[in-house]
Amino acid sequence: MLNLRRLGSFRYDIRDILAHTDIDEALASAVVANVMAKASRVSIADAKTYVREIQAQGGLHQDVADDICSLLDRYSKYR
């Protein structure tokens, strides 16, 4: 699960990662919203799977997807 106490920092960091790419702004907003929803409500693994699916569809580059997955690991909370 995503550490909800650090949600603002997570939002800032993921937007910072996506701001340094040539991704469409609408797709970037959708990716941020879906990753945050899946990570906070379902699981970190499902959020990573979603990121890899977007990467496979050509929406994200390999290094951006890797950065988002490592960000998810840093902001995760294990129960």
How do residues 32-53 score in pLDDT, each as one tens digit? 999 999 999 999 999 999 999 9
Residue 4: predicted pLDDT: 81
**Is-contact 65 51, C-beta < 8 A?**
yes
Q: Domain count for the chain, please give it.
A: 1
Tell me the pLDDT tens digit for each residue of 48-75.
999 999 999 999 999 999 999 999 999 9
Q: Which two tokens stand for residue 70?
A: 């490592």
Burial class (CB in 10 A: 0-12, 13-18, 19+), 57: exposed
Q: 15 — phi, psi (to 5°)?
A: -70, -35
* pTM recorded for the entire structure: 0.90
Q: Which helix (H) or strand (E) holds 49?
A: helix 44-56
- Residue span of the structural domain in which 34 resides: 4-74
Is the pLDDT reported for residue 79 higher than 60? no
Whether residue 79 is contained in a domain is answered as no
